[in-house]
Amino acid sequence: MPAKNHLSRRRFLLQSGAFSALLGTEIVFHKYLPPGLLPVALAETNTIAGKDPGLVVLNDRPLNAETPAHLLDDKVTPASRLFVRNNGIPPEAPDSDNWTLTISGESVEQEKSWTIQQLKDNFKHYSYQLTIECGGNGRAEFNPPAKGNQWTTGAVGCPKWTGVRLKDVLQASGIKPDAVYIGYYGADKHLSGDPGKFPISRGVPIHKALEDEALIAWAMNDEPLPLLNGFPLRLVFGGWPASTSGKWLQKIAVRNQIHDGAKMTGTAYRVPCNPVAPGSTVDETQMCIIEAMPVKSLITFPKSGVSQALTEPMLVRGHAWAGDKKVTRMQLSIDFGQTWLNAPLSSPVNKNAWQHWQHKLRFPKPGYYEIWAKATDDTGVSQPMVLPGWNPKGYLNNATHRIAVQVI
């Protein structure tokens, strides 16, 4: 049955009061249901238009999907292989010609609006390769479990982004000396359909907003942004939780206080200010906002599960990144972390870009092996072997990536 009929049938079922019949009681919630919202159970597909069919869909409504490690092998992540994290309902067909971005807030001298063409005409263009990673990447390993989409390793990518510098656009409006934060607003809608609610409205401290690499971007890898990744305009802050890089960008508020939009407060994108034991209940006042992401790496070749001939060396490669810092050492272990080999590592093409490493490994005898990859940043901080600092919402898991190999 075509999908469209499916939908209309479900809508019809709902409106017909079938729920009352089903549940045998008056529906307390019926009046709360905004039009167009359907208690459908689940969709029947898990491939996404414009995306590699290998992406793993964690949630089909709203769409959330991650990229298996072996599909992140490219040095520059293709648009088709960048993960999708939606907090709300994306706009359906944004009109890039009539799209405007407004710069406002208590701490701008002068509110201004720009069309995308005006941004292109009035400001110098910059391209950077910037790593964006969801704060909850790795949540699936939390024990006790942390709620939310259960990302494993694939909510990260490093495409090339093109746009204008956020600082240039903010300076055109004039930034007051009391500015401390910027907050974004996008065109996505809240899942409840309530127009008074924002699904997400986050931001960064002004110092991050004024960095050279902080972009208002319209292109990914020299093409317009994919719809699911923010078309026609978005923010990009490399190295920080990707939730700071607002999609479908319509407004930036320069704030004289820490931005208090949706998912800035409560427990969202926050971790306990002081470390807690796994499973602890943490008061909201003791939760601090996540800033730069920690040092991390991925093995993107070979794919976990390969067989390897004992007589041949095995080429292993991947990427490493470290928030606002640089990765200075990359190490591999084939004996569960007892001994480590140093792998040659490239320099980043620019700040906040991931780095590449590769190495040829030999195995002493046939059998089951795991390859563990560990990066160390320029302040000497390394990836842990186990889940680091348990936190209630399951953020910042930068434990070493592992792949399994059978040597024959």
Which residues bind to ligand HEC, rule: CB under 6 A?
87, 147-148, 191-192
Asked if 193 and 113 touch (Cβ cutoff 8 Å), the reply is: no
- 112/190 with CB nearer other proteins: 190
Q: Which of 13, 282, 292, 349 binds other proteins (CB under 8 A)?
A: 13
Report which of 150, 133, 141 is spatially closest to residue 244, judged by C-alpha positions.
133
How many residues in the chain?
408
Asked if 260 and 269 touch (Cβ cutoff 8 Å), the reply is: no
- 174/388 with CB nearer other proteins: 388
Strands 100-104 and 249-255: parallel
Question: Min. distance of Cβ 145 from ligand HEC in angstroms?
Answer: 10
Alpha-carbon 181 to chain mean position:
20
Q: Which of 191, 292, 349, 381 binds other proteins (CB under 8 A)?
A: 191
* Helix, strand, coil abundance in the chain, percent, nearest 5: 15, 30, 55
Question: Min. distance of Cβ 58 from ligand HEC in angstroms?
Answer: 10
Question: Min. distance of Cβ 148 from ligand HEC in angstroms?
Answer: 3
Cα 5 to Cα 2, 43, 111, 130, 325: the distances in Å are 6, 13, 46, 42, 51
Q: Which of 58, 65, 130, 236 binds other proteins (CB under 8 A)?
A: 58
Q: Which of 2, 28, 49, 177 binds other proteins (CB under 8 A)?
A: 28
Rounded CA-CA distance 113/11 in Å is 39
> Sign (positive/negative) of CA torsion 293, 296, 299, 305?
negative
Q: Which of 18, 258, 273, 310 binds other proteins (CB under 8 A)?
A: 18
Q: Which of 118, 143, 257, 379 binds other proteins (CB under 8 A)?
A: 143
- 119/373 with CB nearer other proteins: 373
Exposed / middle / buried, residue 12 (Cβ in 10 Å: 0-12, 13-18, 19+): exposed
Question: Min. distance of Cβ 369 from other proteins in angstroms?
Answer: 9
375-404: which residues touch other proteins (CB under 8 A)?
Answer: 385-387, 399, 402-404
Is 362 a binder of other proteins (CB under 8 A)?
no
Is 190 a binder of other proteins (CB under 8 A)?
yes
- 191/387 with CB nearer ligand HEC: 191
Question: Min. distance of Cβ 131 from ligand HEC in angstroms?
Answer: 22
Question: Min. distance of Cβ 62 from other proteins in angstroms?
Answer: 6
DSSP secondary structure, 250-271, as one string: EEEEEESS---STTTSTTTTEE
Rounded CA-CA distance 184/216 in Å is 11
Q: Which of 35, 50, 55, 59 binds other proteins (CB under 8 A)?
A: 59
Count of alpha carbons within 13 angstroms of residue 67, beta-carbon side: 25
Rounded CA-CA distance 395/392 in Å is 8
Is 42 a binder of other proteins (CB under 8 A)?
yes
Question: Min. distance of Cβ 54 from other proteins in angstroms?
Answer: 12
Question: Min. distance of Cβ 294 from ligand HEC in angstroms?
Answer: 21
Going across the sheet that includes 84-85, the strands are: 56-60, 63-66, 84-85
Name the DSSP letter for residue 382: B
Report which of 373, 354, 324, 357 is spatially closest to residue 76, judged by C-alpha positions.
354
Is 274 a binder of other proteins (CB under 8 A)?
no
Q: Which does 87 bind (CB under 5 to 8 A by kind): other proteins, ligand HEC, none?
A: ligand HEC
Query: In which element (H, E) is residue 307 found?
Result: strand 306-308
Is 38 a binder of other proteins (CB under 8 A)?
yes
Q: Which residues lie near other proteins (CB under 8 A)? A: 5, 8-9, 12-13, 16-19, 21-23, 25, 27-29, 32-33, 37-46, 57-62, 141, 143-145, 147-150, 152, 190-194, 197, 266, 303-307, 368, 370, 385-387, 399, 402-406, 408
